[in-house]
Structure 1
Amino acid sequence: MDTRIVDRPEFRLVGHATRVPLIHHGVNPHIQQHIAALPAQEHGRLKDLCGTDPAGLLQVFADLDPDATEGSELTYLHGVAVAAETATPADLDAVTAPAGRWAVFRVAGPYPQALQSAWAATAADWFPSNPWRLRPGPSMVAVLDRAADFSTATCELWLPVEPA
């Protein structure tokens, strides 16, 4: 897996949040509806707020069931990363990303299948063979490049980690 470890100070993720069920395979229609309900100009507004890495619009997953049980609820935030001291606009939600290390997995291919396969491979292959474990904090997906119809994409999966 194409992976790097990144050290980051605390930062925040700001955007539009909702509670959704976890779906392991295919497009999550609840997330899709949430994003579709946002006005087109809101994506540009969020991008303008972005002030730190990971850059661009992010898919943020917080409050996940530790066992990642399909159907369990999580907080999904469609937003961007900002510095910890950046004020959150009153109409946006915020999730804190604590200071620490992140394992960043780069994946490219059919979307969302390649991303979901990579996420599963982190649990089945990467974590068991590397000296890291998950730590508290949100997980994020940054879409770096995509086809116009979103059939394929290059993404980075950011997972909070600490030495095992």
Structure 2
Amino acid sequence: MLERLNQAMEHIEDHLGEPVDAAELARIAMTSEYHFRRMFSALAGIPLSEYVRRRRLTLAGAEVLAGKRTLLDVAVRYGYGSGEAFARAFRAVHGVGPGEARRTGAALYSQPRMSFRLIVEGSSGMRYRVVERDGFRIVGRGTRVPLVYEGMNPAIVEFVKSIGKETLGRWEAYGDGEPGGVVAVVGNHSADDPEGTEIDYFQGVVSGAEVPGASQSLDVGPGTWAVFESSGEFPRAVQYLWRDVYTQWFPSNPYRSRPGPSLSRTRVSEDGTHADAEVWIPVERAEG
């Protein structure tokens, strides 16, 4: 999988002056476009579209400073239809306009080329199971939060506090299916969303009953789920579990991610230092 992913990265480099064709990149990587975007975002730490934009403007910045082409020629060469559009994109990445950069020789941002490799340490395995589920219902409360790729999400922290520990504890008693306990649900989220994009976030329990204080419900369709478990230092154990699913499990198993909400359950110790985590990711068998 990683070898094919690197072939897709070569294709990006060869076509930086054209609109990114995620479907073609997925074909090269021999997977679905949805899974390619998810895999790239998890491995690279940024969405595919953002990486392409940074690479495109890194090369454009070098040509601006070199002074051999007009600014409009550079803009067209890297896929911008007008000098104004190029100037806006250039400033967003480099913090300075192309004309000023050329006049002053300003320091510019450089996005290096990415390639991927799998480091196999063999020191620990992953606990997982594959589950076929009929559709189920999660009841609780939902909100919209800005997407945060790294570290704690303050909006989520405040939302969970607004529900309260006592309410969450009462909800847990009404759970009657897997995943058990209070779960967090992330939906309506594309792997190409930039940081700050508003996404759906839901806290609740799997239950067919009416749950006091749970004002909303979420219907999850039937399908296959890969379920992963981890225990360790909080929050490292939780953060590393998500990373390891994409860097270790998917490249080594005949599955790919499919559209659908991601579910997670985290139990943190009283002193806040240890966590038991469980993550449910919607998957399907990879073709071939």
* Fold equivalence (TM over 0.5): yes
Question: CA separation of 1:89/1:66 partners in 2, compared to 1, >3 Å: closer, same or farther?
Answer: farther
Decide which of 58, 71, 78 is 2:183's aligned counterpart. Answer: 58
Bigger fraction of residues in strand: 1
**Equivalent pairs, count:** 161
Could you tell me whether the CA contact under 8 Å between 2:139 and 2:207 is conserved in 1? Answer: yes
Question: CA separation of 1:58/1:120 partners in 2, compared to 1, >3 Å: closer, same or farther?
Answer: same
Decide which of 268, 272, 275 is 1:150's aligned counterpart. Answer: 272
Could you tell me whether the CA contact under 8 Å between 2:204 and 2:214 is conserved in 1? Answer: no
Decide which of 87, 93, 111 is 2:234's aligned counterpart. Answer: 111
Residue of structure 1 equivalent to 2:152: 27
Bigger fraction of residues in helix: 2
Question: CA separation of 1:50/1:127 partners in 2, compared to 1, >3 Å: closer, same or farther?
Answer: same
How far 1:44 moved relative to its partner? 2.7
Question: CA separation in 2, counterparts of 1:51 and 1:91?
Answer: 15
How far 1:89 moved relative to its partner? 6.7
What is the TM-score of this pair, normalised by structure 2?
0.51
User: For structure 2, which runs of at least 5 residues remain unmatched after alignment?
Assistant: 1-125
How far 1:106 moved relative to its partner? 0.5
Amino acid at match of 2:178: D
Amino acid at match of 1:78: Q
Instruction: Name which of structure 1's ranges 117-126 and 50-59 shifts more when overlaid on structure 2.
Output: 117-126
Could you tell me whether the CA contact under 8 Å between 1:2 and 1:106 is conserved in 2? Answer: yes
Amino acid at match of 1:103: A
Question: CA separation of 1:2/1:38 partners in 2, compared to 1, >3 Å: closer, same or farther?
Answer: same
How far 1:99 moved relative to its partner? 0.8
1:1-164 equivalences under 5 Å are 1-67=126-192, 69-83=194-208, 86=209, 92-143=215-266, 145-164=267-286
User: For structure 1, which runs of at least 5 residues remain unmatched after alignment?
Assistant: none
Larger Rg: 2
How far 1:93 moved relative to its partner? 1.8
Question: CA separation of 1:124/1:39 partners in 2, compared to 1, >3 Å: closer, same or farther?
Answer: closer
How far 1:68 moved relative to its partner? 5.8
What is the TM-score of this pair, normalised by structure 1?
0.86
Question: CA separation in 2, counterparts of 1:69 and 1:88?
Answer: 35
